[in-house]
Amino acid sequence: MRIGLAVLRNEFLIYFKKWVHIIINIAFFIFSTSLFSLVAGLEQGLLAEWGAGVIWVVALLSMLLAMPLLFQPDREDGTLDLMLLSAMDPAWLALAKAGANWCVFGLPLVLLSPLLGASYGLEGIALVVLPATLALGTPALILLATVAAALTAGLRRGVGLLALLVLPLALPILLFGVRATELAADGFPTAAPLMMLGAFLLLALGLLPWAAGAALRATAN
């Protein structure tokens, strides 16, 4: 556990030294969502209809940009071997990596989403539900990505494969996230899709770090 915290601390230090990645990620999120609104023109009804879907899809894509940073650098510089040979269970390693990656790349998207939602004409409770869905859904996405990243870290063209593995598995999270926001925008209760997202997150927390740990061990050769 203490080693896991040391990994977490190191990850934050490294990510903040690579601040350009963080800026690029945020800029990608903002510019890509803006592109959709330009294509839709100024038709407010259409914008509001697209809003939740566009923001969720772009959030997913911008998180995909950061997913190769989960294990690939550690594989390349040899620190992954040292971490796998430490007293720490690789599941804690995966959890620490996922936690740091989400705080640096996922949390800013959650915080920015109400602003972007408002620019799409979302209002009222929908501007609360949208970040809530992202806060529940994006950590589950990162946990999914840890398994795919652990499996593909040693591959030369692993980034494309990582995206192909994550995208179909992310579909239920995406659908519930978008649906909850749409229901909120139309004034319907949103408890059911939010609870489903919460259940996905709990399931991901309970299972995926162990799966990622096993994948890291299996691909260490």
Partner 1 sequence: MLEARGLTIWRGERRLCHDLSFSLASGSLLLLQGRNGSGKTSLLRCLAGLLPLESGTVELNGVAYGRDPARYLRCLGWLGHKDGLKAELSVRRNLAFRLRLAGLAGQAGKEDELLERAGLKGLENRVAAQLSYGQRRRLALAGLIGVAPPLWLLDEPDANLDAQGREWLQRELDSHLDAGGCAVLAGHRMEWRSRGPAPQLILGIA
Q: Which of 38, 87, 186, 191 binds partner 1 (CB under 8 A)?
A: 87
- In the chain, % helix, strand, coil (3-state, to 5) comes to 85, 0, 15
Q: Which of 57, 84, 125, 205 binds partner 1 (CB under 8 A)?
A: 84
Q: Which of 41, 78, 168, 187 binds partner 1 (CB under 8 A)?
A: 78
What tokens were used for 84? 């796998």
Q: Does 23 bind partner 1 (CB under 8 A)?
A: no
Q: Which of 86, 107, 167, 205 binds partner 1 (CB under 8 A)?
A: 86
> What does the H/E/C string look like for 55-122?
HHHHHHHHHHHHHHHCCHHHHHHCHHHHHHCCCCCHHHHHHHHHHHHHHHHHHHHHHHHHHHHHHCCC
Contact 149, 109 (CB under 8 A): no
Tell me whether residue 59 or residue 88 sits nearer to partner 1 (CB atom): 88
Q: Which of 60, 88, 122, 194 binds partner 1 (CB under 8 A)?
A: 88
Q: Which of 27, 35, 43, 81 binds partner 1 (CB under 8 A)?
A: 81
Count of C-beta atoms within a 10 Å radius of residue 70: 24
Contact 40, 6 (CB under 8 A): no
Contact characters 3-22, partner 1, x per CB under 8 A: x--x---x--xx--xx----
> Least separation, in Å, of the C-beta of 154 and partner 1?
12
Tell me whether residue 3 or residue 30 sits nearer to partner 1 (CB atom): 3
Q: Which of these ranges, 23-31, 78-86, 101-109, 186-194, lies near partner 1 under the rule CB under 8 A? A: 78-86
Tell me whether residue 18 or residue 57 sits nearer to partner 1 (CB atom): 18
Q: Give buried/exposed letters for 95-107 (b at 16+ CB in 10 A, else e).
A: bbbbbbbbbbbbe
Point out which residues bind partner 1 (CB under 8 A): 2-3, 6, 10, 13-14, 17-18, 76-79, 81-88, 220-221
